[in-house]
Structure 1
Amino acid sequence: MTRRFALLGDPVRHSVSPAMHRAAFEVLGLDAEYVARRTAPDEVGPVMRSADLAGGNVTLPHKLRAARALARPSAAVRATGACNCWWRRPDGELAGDNTDVGGLRIAFSRFGFRPRGARVLLLGAGGAARAAVHALIEDGVSSVEILNRTEARARALRDRALAHASGADVPADTNRAADAVRVVAAPHAGTTYDLVLNSTSLGLAPGDPLPLELKGETDRVGFDAAFDMVYAAGETAWVRQARALGFPAAGGLDMLVGQAALSLERWFPGREAPFDAMREAAVAELARRAGSEPEDGSGAE
């Protein structure tokens, strides 16, 4: 019997998730379907519980609401309060995970960034930032400095990280890393950051301002690398600026593919997601929408 999966969000028309998962199902020979479904806030729980769906993904603006619909949330969901992947267990209960956390780890690995001992400047304090902070403190960063337009929201993110890390089941090194999460009004002059990480949505729309004007900061602050969680056909303007200034930079495509691959492995235990095929499908779909054909699958953040 065909297993059906759906992406829930609003909007969903822009998503490349259907292209990625359909490519994966074909490679693995799975009898499964994946569709994007525009979903209103009050529909999220009922749709997740509907008998015709075996599971799916959740995107903006419903990740927090989806987490509340779960009977069996993962540790990452409990820590972040957000769910982007759910599935129906054999007993009928809904389980869920935040595979954005693991997706970011995959992207960091492919980029060559190792969080342990690193000093990170994080731009933004929304849902993507929750996943980023959780991954970074679990992986042993030296510090995370949160720079956000609304300071209260940044402090709420920091407080959540501290509250989770103080739990009895959390390793001591994770607790120490959480203590190093700080809110800043600007990058500290004279500091060299191992990574500046954009978790805002700036860069999704043409004409968006840059999340941080790197050119104006490099006279007083050092950056060893930049990572943009936004993905686009080609590179975002922020990634282009970082590379023009001479330091390594990457966009969010590998994170996107990574979270999708991990989602598939939650739905089909024992199966290894075909990362390369999923990435190629995402690149092709992004290029199609941009009105150009991809030269190859590399560097298309």
Structure 2
Amino acid sequence: MSASAVDRYAVLGNPIAHSKSPAIHSAFAAQTGQRLSYERIEVPLDAFAARVGELIAAGYLGFNVTVPFKEQAFALAQRRTPRAQAAGAVNTLMPTSDGLLGDNTDGAGLVADLQRLGVQLAGARVLLLGAGGASRGVILPLREAGVARIAICNRTADKAQALAIEFGIAVQAAESTDTPYDVVINATSAGLAGALPPLPTGAVAVHTLAYDMLYGAQPTAFMQHCSGLGARVADGLGMLVGQAAESFALWRGVRPDAEPVLAQLRAAMKD
């Protein structure tokens, strides 16, 4: 079989050199016996739609999309899944006979990782820190998982209010709360600068899972802070692998096991 017969996929972004997606999808392919290639492609900031068209013409069968192109991918998609529509952003594209399909697998990846961590989402109370795209992308999947309450806390109160009205969820005051949450999710980028997101006093207790969408070799500032309050903590590496597994299942019709791939990534980060 010639090399050209291998099914081709890629992750599109700018910058893109840091992406772990090729390692993840290569591991999924080996695990499931799928013959494919997966690469990083840096796309010029002003040429996303044109580049996607060129790659489809060249035979690529699917793409993951990362910053700063998720909104452009949403606009480019001719069909969108309900979760992509709710998120207002697309991280997975697949050419089909009915046009370019756009999906957003971030929320499904988060839900899968929370379940892996033993969180009982049915009936849970969840607090989202941040009112940007990362929060928007996970509200519908969390709701579909059966959570009893979703609240938004954001430094800019009017952004939290707007998102709450759009999705019919609650706003949590940034100062304090009398009732701790079962899950508190940091969907802000504050940790990139070593800062803490807005976290109401009383939101975290010993039964809380404090989950940071960011990940790294060391615990984030948010994780360290919540651990000091007695909470269980986790980072977003499992969400990254989970959303990739969801994309892989969409493209290939087979669902990989995220657990061993997550363990491989975790071990590699510690080396």
- Give TM-score, length-normalised by structure 2: 0.87
* Aligned equivalents of 1:66, 1:257: Cα separation in 2: 21
2:261 paired with 1:278: yes
* Aligned equivalents of 1:256, 1:115: Cα separation in 2: 19
| SS of aligned partner of 1:21 | helix
2:11 paired with 1:4: no
Deviation track 1:206-265 (CA, whole Å, cap 9, x = no partner) reads x42122468xx34xx543221111111242232133223222111111111100011111
Contact 2:70 2:89 in 1 (8 A): yes
Alignment correspondent of 1:201: 189
Alignment correspondent of 1:258: 242
Tell me by how many angstroms 1:97 deviates: 1.1
Tell me by how many angstroms 1:274 deviates: 3.5
Alignment correspondent of 2:122: 116
Map 1:1-301 to 2 at 5 A: 1-50=5-54, 51-52=57-58, 53-89=60-96, 91=97, 93-161=99-167, 178=168, 181-203=169-191, 205=192, 207-212=193-198, 217-218=201-202, 221-223=203-205, 224-269=208-253, 271-285=254-268, 287=269, 292-293=270-271
What do you get for the CA RMSD once the two structures are aligned? 2.1
* Aligned equivalents of 2:52, 2:12: Cα separation in 1: 9
- Give TM-score, length-normalised by structure 1: 0.79
Q: Which amino acid aligns with 2:44?
A: A
Number of residue equivalences: 262
Alignment correspondent of 1:296: none
Q: 1:276 to 1:108 in 2, by over 3 A?
A: closer
Alignment correspondent of 1:298: none
Q: Which amino acid aligns with 1:157?
A: L
Tell me by how many angstroms 1:187 deviates: 4.7
Q: 1:75 to 1:275 in 2, by over 3 A?
A: same
Q: 1:275 to 1:87 in 2, by over 3 A?
A: same
Q: Which amino acid aligns with 2:195?
A: P
Where does the alignment leave 5 or more consecutive residues of structure 1 unmatched?
162-177, 294-301
Q: 1:47 to 1:76 in 2, by over 3 A?
A: same
Deviation track 1:129-149 (CA, whole Å, cap 9, x = no partner) reads 012222222233332221112
* Aligned equivalents of 2:95, 2:190: Cα separation in 1: 34
Which deviates further from its counterpart, 10-19 or 122-131?
10-19
Give aligned-pair identity as a percent.
Answer: 37
Moved over 3 A (4+): none
Q: 1:98 to 1:26 in 2, by over 3 A?
A: same
* Aligned equivalents of 1:192, 1:213: Cα separation in 2: 11
Tell me by how many angstroms 1:185 deviates: 3.6
